[in-house]
């Protein structure tokens, strides 16, 4: 029996959730759930130069909207708390001091200016700057003296200079890094707070994390973390690094370049379930060809061994397809509740039954934000170009459109009650008695009712929603305009 599986989502709060962060959270969650483990939320805020206001709320909200319930976290507590690193500030220094004593770390007193000038010099030679271990040479007396005199200090990790460090990643296999590539990174900063790199390892250990899931940009840092585990003599977690997510043109996704964050996608009219489903497939593939998975189904199907290491492509068109699928299969009531804010944006006329309008849109909608542009004609009849009465396939022109409208008007004026069934049967018996094609009646009526060339729903549904008075008014306007044009 191994340890109980414990994973954590450990975001640094930035104020928005990048697609890659969402995928990390989702996979951490799925690894835990698929192995009967615990999923923990930990906020890594010790490295933040500026705290983005409400940044943590953005993270809570994303997890909630996506249904990623965590078993322990800042707002719900748990046996390993607190779960916000800035509230654990006193935890880390004693561990760093332990490393100094064991010879795996050392105090560094180098000034910002010294480091900056060395960095510039290295850059001018086209090299990446690595700290030159200046302070490693200090004797313990010198260190004591400097500490006693109150000189500012940091604690750095002492990396081995020789050899290499190898670790096994569950996705990428065996990874080896030459130790001389590893910088003596800072563990405790001059403000006494740990760097992200240090706090991350300490907390993963203290919180008994068994599986670390994160983006492949951390692959090359992992040897540094492992050297820390070794220095303390701690058991290392299993590593699961996830492939890069790129755009269809192969470039990286970045908020700065205007690529959508999770919040942006919601605002663009995508629904959380569809986003989660699509994101789950960016790097993981189930057996078989099935693509639609609810979160509960993902929990069952997910398998770490089916994570791929090749970059996965985030294609917003593919996400639209998922979104349309989710919309299509939801209940009319659920769709109505999601569509309502968008319907209200375009339709202020209180006589219009918005539930009926949502029924017309339901199977035709890919993203919610497209709704307002599809239903404005219900609100009011705008001026329209008479050319839209002409339709080749329907065999309509201005003349026969006028005839149909003139024939329909008295029939509809006398229609009681007014509903889809009665409108349907009255117009179709008129078609029969006139000996024309259905389209020659329904196209002109729909056009007169909407003034639009393309509408969700046809003449009958639109007439029903507009109601008798408004439908008759619009048909009369159509007749008047066509008569004028043909006179
Ligand atoms: N705080 C890190 C981040 O936001 C976490 C990396 C990790 O999961 O170890 O990227």
- Cβ(44) to ligand 1 under 6 A? yes
pLDDT tens-digit series, residues 331-376: 999 999 999 999 999 999 999 999 999 999 998 899 999 999 999 9
Length of the chain as a residue count: 487
Dist. CA 169–CA 239, nearest whole Å? 5
Cβ-based neighbours of 415, under 8 Å, separated by 6 or more: 422, 423, 426, 468
Ligand 1, atom nearest to 44 Cα: 1
User: Domain ranges in the chain?
Assistant: 6-77+245-313, 88-199, 332-377, 381-486
CA distances from 19 to 83, 102, 234, 266, 370 (A): 23, 41, 32, 12, 22
Ligand 1, atom nearest to 200 Cα: 9
Q: What pLDDT is recorded for position 398?
A: 97
At the top level of CATH, the class of 381-486 is mainly alpha
Q: What pLDDT is recorded for position 9?
A: 98
Are 430 and 442 spatial neighbours (Cβ–Cβ below 8 Å)?
no
pLDDT tens-digit series, residues 106-137: 999 999 999 999 999 999 999 989 999 999 99
CA of 155 to the centre of ligand 1 (A): 21
Q: Which CATH number fits domain 6-77+245-313: 3.20.20.80, 3.30.70.1280, 3.40.50.620, 3.30.1330.10?
A: 3.40.50.620
- Cβ(10) to ligand 1 under 6 A? yes
Tokens of 12: 């640094």
Edge-to-edge strands, sheet with 164-169: 38-41, 6-9, 211-215, 238-242, 164-169, 173-178
**Cα dihedral across residues 188, 194, 199, 200: positive or negative:** negative
pTM to 2 decimals? 0.88
pLDDT tens-digit series, residues 174-188: 999 999 999 999 999
Give yes or no for residue 53 having a pLDDT over 70.
Answer: no
Set 97, 189, 255, 406: catalytic member: 255
Are 430 and 408 spatial neighbours (Cβ–Cβ below 8 Å)?
yes
State which fold the 88-199 domain adopts.
3.90.800
Cβ-based neighbours of 138, under 8 Å, separated by 6 or more: 106, 107, 109, 146
């Amino acid at each position: 029996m191994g340890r109980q599986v414990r994973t954590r989502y450990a975001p640094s709060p930035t104020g928005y959730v990048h697609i890659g962060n969402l995928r990390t959270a989702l996979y951490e969650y799925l690894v835990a759930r698929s192995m009967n483990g615990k999923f923990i939320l930990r906020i890594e805020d010790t490295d933040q130069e500026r705290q983005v206001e409400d940044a943590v709320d953005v993270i809570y909200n994303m997890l909630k909207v996506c249904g990623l319930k965590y078993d322990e976290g800042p707002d719900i507590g748990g046996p390993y708390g607190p779960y916000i690193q800035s509230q654990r500030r006193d935890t880390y220094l004693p561990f760093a001091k332990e490393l100094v004593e064991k010879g795996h770390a050392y105090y560094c007193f180098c000034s910002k200016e010294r480091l900056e000038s060395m960095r510039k010099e290295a850059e001018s030679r086209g090299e990446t700057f690595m700290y030159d271990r200046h302070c490693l040479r200090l004797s313990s007396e010198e260190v004591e003296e400097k500490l006693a005199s109150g000189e500012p200090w940091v604690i750095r990790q002492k990396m081995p200079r020789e050899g290499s460090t190898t670790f096994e990643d569950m996705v990428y296999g065996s990874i080896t890094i030459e130790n001389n590539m590893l910088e003596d990174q800072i563990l405790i900063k001059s403000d006494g707070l740990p760097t992200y790199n240090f706090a991350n390892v300490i907390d993963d250990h203290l919180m008994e994390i068994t599986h670390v899931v994160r983006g492949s940009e951390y692959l090359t840092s992992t040897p540094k973390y492992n050297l820390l585990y070794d220095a303390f003599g701690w058991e290392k977690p299993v590593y699961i690094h996830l492939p890069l997510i790129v755009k269809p043109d192969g470039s990286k996704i970045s908020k700065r370049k205007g690529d959508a964050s999770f919040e942006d996608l919601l605002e663009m009219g995508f629904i959380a379930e569809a986003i989660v489903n699509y994101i789950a497939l960016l790097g993981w593939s189930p057996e078989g060809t099935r693509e639609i998975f609810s979160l509960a189904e993902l929990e069952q199907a997910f398998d770490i061994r089916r994570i791929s290491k090749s970059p996965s492509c985030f294609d917003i068109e593919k996400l639209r397809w998922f979104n349309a699928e989710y919309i299509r299969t939801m209940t009319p009531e659920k769709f109505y509740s999601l569509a309502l804010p968008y319907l209200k944006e375009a339709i202020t006329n209180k006589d219009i039954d918005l539930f009926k309008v949502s029924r017309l849109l339901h199977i035709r909608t890919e993203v919610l934000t497209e709704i307002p542009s599809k239903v404005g004609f219900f609100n009011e009849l705008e001026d329209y170009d008479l050319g839209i009465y002409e339709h080749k396939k329907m065999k309509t022109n201005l003349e026969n459109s006028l005839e149909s409208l003139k024939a329909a008007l008295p029939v509809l004026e006398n229609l009681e009650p007014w509903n889809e069934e009665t409108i349907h049967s009255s117009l179709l018996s008129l078609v029969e008695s006139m000996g024309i094609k259905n389209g020659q009646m329904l196209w002109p009526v729909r056009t007169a009712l909407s003034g639009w060339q393309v509408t969700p729903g046809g003449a009958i549904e639109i007439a029903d929603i507009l109601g008798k008075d408004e439908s008759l008014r619009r048909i009369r306007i159509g007749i008047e305009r066509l008569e004028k044009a043909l006179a």
